[in-house]
């Protein structure tokens, strides 16, 4: 079966750095997405990785290792508004998105 | 600001009611999706429409009935639902091209409670 694993919940301090991991087992791979979802709101696109390595976009970076079936989302200089759920999703060989359950990130002052 | 809108945002219905959820995308996309999101579970893909044709139906019970009259509008008709159908229903759209994993853009969702 296809599976995406990510931690259920993480806590971090304002101004710090946090890394949210995602491991996947899918039938094929056609890219990995990270989305942010604030409570009661729509998921919004954060990043897309299809090749190995690090993609940096401001305070957020996303890393991919296809050989290890592993990705992480790195958030720097955390702000209170970063409190949200972070969803990892992989497009399989049929270009269907397989979703993780999301990681709820709690930022404390 | 989102290019995908959904109405209503909240809905409470009894098990014998019939209601419809509406989704509209203003992004010129050619694919639209219905997802179910339950607490602490992965997003569950329900239906996919590509160029107004339904291409996916992931074993969804017949009490959920989708309709896609054009590439900008998507409906989810609900009837005789069960309490376990209570969830957040999300609509999304994307511009699908052959062999290209395009980004999906989501609406704010309809929070459904079935009593």
Q: Looking at chain B, which residue has its C-alpha nearest residue A2?
A: B42
* CB–CB contact A99 B106 (8 Å): no
Give me chain B's average pLDDT, please.
90
Of B2, B56, B103, Cβ closest to residue A42 = B2
pLDDT at B28: 92
Grouped pLDDT means (10 residues each) for chain B, 115 residues = 88 92 95 92 91 74 93 95 95 80 89 95
The radius of gyration computed from the CA coordinates of chain B, to the nearest angstrom, equals 14
CB atoms within 10 A of CB B80: 14
Of A45, A50, A101, the CB nearest to B40: A101
What is the predicted pLDDT for the residue at A49?
95
Contact residues on chain B for A102, CB-CB shorter than 8 A: 40, 42
The answer for residues whose C-beta is within 8 angstroms of residue A26's C-beta and 6 or more apart is: A2, A3, A4, A69, A90, A92, A93, A98
Q: What angle do CA A77, A23, A101 make, to 5 degrees?
A: 80
Q: Looking at chain A, which residue has its C-alpha nearest residue B91?
A: A42
Contact state of A48 with B103 under an 8 Å Cβ cutoff: yes
Classify each residue of B46-68 as buried b or exposed e, where b means 16 or more C-beta atoms within 10 Å of its C-beta: bbbbbeeeeeeeeebeeebebeb
Residue A94: name the closest of A30, A18, A39 by CA.
Answer: A30
pLDDT of residue B54: 73
Tens digits of residue pLDDT in A7-40 = 999 999 999 999 999 999 999 999 999 999 999 8
Helix, coil or strand: residue A8:
coil
What is the arrangement of strands in the sheet containing B64-70, beginning at the earlier edge strand?
A: B4-7, B18-25, B73-79, B64-70
Q: Is the pLDDT of residue A63 over 80?
A: yes
% of residues, chain B, pLDDT over 90: 73
Which 8-state DSSP code applies to residue B82? -
């Amino acid at each position: 079966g296809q599976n995406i694993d990510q931690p259920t919940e993480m806590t971090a301090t304002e101004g710090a750095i946090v890394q949210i991991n995602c491991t996947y087992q899918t039938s094929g791979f056609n890219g990995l997405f990270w989305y942010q979802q604030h409570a009661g709101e729509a998921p919004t696109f954060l990043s897309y990785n299809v090749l190995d390595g690090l993609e940096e976009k401001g305070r957020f970076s996303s890393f991919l290792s296809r050989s290890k079936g592993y990705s992480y989302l790195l958030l720097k200089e955390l702000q209170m508004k970063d409190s949200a759920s972070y969803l990892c999703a992989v497009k399989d060989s049929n270009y269907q998105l397989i979703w993780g359950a999301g990681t709820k990130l709690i930022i404390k002052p | 600001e989102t290019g995908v809108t959904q109405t209503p945002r909240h809905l409470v219905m009894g098990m014998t009611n019939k209601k419809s959820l509406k989704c509209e995308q203003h992004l010129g996309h050619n694919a639209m999706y219905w997802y179910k999101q339950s607490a602490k579970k992965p997003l569950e893909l329900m239906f996919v429409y590509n160029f107004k044709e339904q291409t996916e139906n992931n074993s969804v019970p017949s009490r959920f009935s989708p309709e896609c009259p054009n590439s900008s509008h998507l409906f989810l008709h609900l009837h005789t639902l069960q309490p376990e159908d209570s969830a957040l229903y999300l609509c999304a759209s994307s511009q699908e091209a052959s062999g290209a994993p395009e980004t999906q853009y989501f609406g704010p969702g309809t929070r459904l409670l079935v009593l």
